[in-house]
Amino acid sequence: MAVFTGGGISLLISCIITLYFRRKIPCMIIQFRKSDTDIEAFIRNNGTLSPRRYTYSDVRKMTNSFHEQLGKGGYGSVFKGKLPDGHLVAVKLLNTSKGDGQDFINEVASISRTSHVNIVTLLGFCLEGQKRALIYEFMPNGSLETFIYNKDAVKDRQHLSSDELLRIAVGIARGLEYLHRGCNTRILHFDIKPHNILLDENFLPKISDFGLAKLCTTGESIVSMLEARGTIGYIAPEVFCRSVGGVLHKSDVYSYGMVILEMVGGRKNVDVGVSKTEEIYFPHWIYGYAVQDDMEPQLLGLETKEETEIARKMILVGLWCIQMNPSDRPTMSRVIEMLEGSVQALQVPPKPYMSSPSTSPVDSAFLTLS
């Protein structure tokens, strides 16, 4: 459960009531009827944006009849594959029993518009009747969550050093900055979390999974949404509670802040397995150490002064990113400057007191558990 203080409790109750009675109308980046015919029409009309199309037979061949599974989730399963030219790929086979193809359209429409070193490349897709698949470049080191959720924090640091964690954090920030400002069409991801950050052979991070993404014009400041979307634990307050503020690119900043806090701490930001109530909500717990000049390095498996400074920098930046008021959060451009600058130049942010909903009173197809 999340921890709240003062007016946060009444505000949360108000948000839950509002969301519970909100009409369940999906917010779609592309409006289309629930039929494969209309998905086909979208693909034809956006041919210049679409990657290569494969048949289902091609997909079976490249995955050796779905021999090696890399992962599984509510969206479906991911399998390792190989193209005829020898290039390894990751094939996401979508679960057609869930939704009406919106996730498929979202990914093809959004990621096809991108070209950035920190955004995963969509190489192709398959749409054949009810069979839908997305073919991505293969990331040999899997997702970021594999390297940060480890009960033995010291052992974890043997896999990813503080320098590597900082480099990954900067890479994710550059990818988000590109989505928010570098495209002709601004792309809001709405599902930034460690599971959706993939790592290549050199641990270069790449943002993936655009199933909940939304497109908007670069001059659009507030995004119209009729339904909360994202993963519990990473959702910005304004996404599930409109009284906090408008939904905009700062909502991704909030999710990013939660991710880099978890990278430093090696645990989920909401951890019901801890023994003390005050440690359940990780930002509250880690804030006390960040504001101290003598932050305990052994707490996070740190060994040197340099590692401790990197951790402190990431914590301070993460805490700024998860401020409840969107206007108090930095842009991704500013985040990069903060991460690449001196920790001594960073001010201590106000203590966070509100988190995304940690239970599921909201029945929404756009909310998932991490």
Asked if residues 174 and 144 have their Cβ atoms less than 8 Å apart, the reply is no
Of 45-49, 58-62, 344-348, the poorest mean pLDDT is in 45-49
Residues 182 and 279 in one domain: yes
> For 141-169, what is the mean pLDDT?
76
pLDDT class for 13, splitting at 50, 70, 90?
A: very low
Domain endpoint, select from 106, 137, 168: 137
pLDDT of residue 296 exceeding 50: yes
pLDDT of residue 8 exceeding 70: no
**C-alpha–C-alpha distance, residues 234 and 192, integer Å:** 7
Supply the CATH number for residue 42's domain: 3.30.200.20
Better pLDDT: 97 or 159: 159
The answer to whether residue 25 sits within a structural domain is no
Better pLDDT: 121 or 353: 121
The answer to whether residue 7 sits within a structural domain is no
Residues 172 and 313 in one domain: yes
Residue-range definition of the domain harbouring residue 317: 145-368
> For 292-296, what is the mean pLDDT?
58
pLDDT class for 60, splitting at 50, 70, 90?
A: very high
Which amino acid, residue 338? M
The answer to whether residue 19 sits within a structural domain is no
DSSP H helices, the chain, are 8-20, 36-45, 56-62, 102-111, 145-148, 153-157, 162-177, 237-240, 250-265, 282-290, 305-321, 332-340
* Cβ atoms within 10 Å of 211's Cβ, excluding its own: 26
Which amino acid, residue 296? E
| pLDDT (0 to 100) of residue 364 | 41
| pLDDT (0 to 100) of residue 65 | 96
| pLDDT (0 to 100) of residue 215 | 81
pLDDT of residue 193 exceeding 90: yes
| pLDDT (0 to 100) of residue 323 | 93
Split into its structural domains, the chain has a count of: 2
| pLDDT (0 to 100) of residue 168 | 97
| pLDDT (0 to 100) of residue 76 | 84
Better pLDDT: 184 or 139: 139
| pLDDT (0 to 100) of residue 231 | 83
Share of the chain above pLDDT 70, in %: 65
Three-state SS at 197: strand
| Residues with Cβ within 8 Å of residue 220, at least 6 apart in sequence | 186
| pLDDT (0 to 100) of residue 134 | 93
The enclosing H or E element of 70 equals strand 69-73
Burial of 152 (C-beta count, 10 Å sphere; 0-12/13-18/19+): exposed
Residues 338 and 257 in one domain: yes
The answer to whether residue 172 sits within a structural domain is yes
Mean predicted lDDT score pLDDT of the chain: 76
The answer to whether residue 219 sits within a structural domain is yes
CA angle, 326 as apex, 325 and 328 as ends, to 5°?
Answer: 70
Better pLDDT: 364 or 265: 265
pTM for the full model? Answer: 0.80
Residues 128 and 185 in one domain: no
SS3 content of the chain, % helix, strand, coil (to 5): 40, 15, 45
Of 2-6, 73-77, 162-166, 239-243, the poorest mean pLDDT is in 2-6
> For 304-309, what is the mean pLDDT?
85
Residues 233 and 321 in one domain: yes
Binding annotation for ATP: 92
**C-alpha–C-alpha distance, residues 87 and 315, integer Å:** 38
Three-state SS at 3: coil
Residues 128 and 156 in one domain: no
103 catalytic per annotation? no
**C-alpha–C-alpha distance, residues 56 and 365, integer Å:** 27
Residues 226 and 351 in one domain: yes
Supply the CATH number for residue 336's domain: 1.10.510.10
Residues 203 and 129 in one domain: no
pLDDT class for 23, splitting at 50, 70, 90?
A: very low
**C-alpha–C-alpha distance, residues 349 and 115, integer Å:** 34
Region of 54 (left: φ > 0; alpha: ψ -120 to 50; beta: rest) is beta
**Which of 191, 200, 293, 328 does the annotation list as catalytic?**
191
Q: What is the 3-state secondary structure (H, E, C) of 93-159?
A: EECCCCCCCHHHHHHHHHHCCCCCCCECCEEEEEEECCEEEEEEECCCCCECHHHHCCCCHHHHHCC
The string of pLDDT tens digits covering residues 195-225 is: 999 999 999 999 999 888 888 765 555 555 5
Domain endpoint, select from 116, 137, 158: 137
Binding annotation: 92
